[in-house]
Amino acid sequence: MKELLPQLLPQVIELIVPIIMALGALLSLQITNWIKAKTQNETAQGALIRLNELVATQVRANAQTIVASLREAAGDGSVDADELARIKDETIQRLKTYLGQRGLKDLAKVIDGETLDTFLEAKVEQAVHQLKEAA
């Protein structure tokens, strides 16, 4: 038995080393994929949270400044649909400016670029509705 062990040991090592290396490579790949997924999810989550905060802030600011001054200027206190559409468009443009290229790029990972404007419009309308309900 003592004579057999020195003869088998190199063969066993030759078999085990490639298996250990393959497992190490697989583990490394799994860790890399996990890091990529976690980073992308956190980036997307951060972009959406930032967008929600920006939309709420911008809608409140518009309600206090632009809409209030338009109501005063209108005389009867109402704002027509064209003015509301213009305010919404301006709000979306401001949001895009505040987000910047990086923020828009982060959002594009979550929201298709072609539907980003539609998504922003919906977020603005949602924030306006929430503001009206709170009043």
Domain spans in the chain, listed from the N-terminal domain onward: 4-134
Mean pLDDT (whole number) for 64-90: 74
Q: Are 92 and 121 in contact (CB under 8 A)?
A: yes
CA atoms within 13 A on the CB side of 38: 6
Residue 71 above 70 pLDDT?
no
Q: What is the DSSP letter of 75?
A: S
Mean pLDDT of 116-132: 83
- Cβ neighbours of 76 (radius 10 Å): 6
Cα torsion through 38, 40, 43, 46, rounded to 10:
-70
What is the pLDDT confidence band of residue 47, given thresholds at 50, 70 and 90? Answer: confident
Residue 99 and residue 51 in contact, taking contact as beta carbons nearer than 8 Å: yes
**Among candidate residues 61, 30, 55, the one with its CA nearest the CA of residue 107:** 55
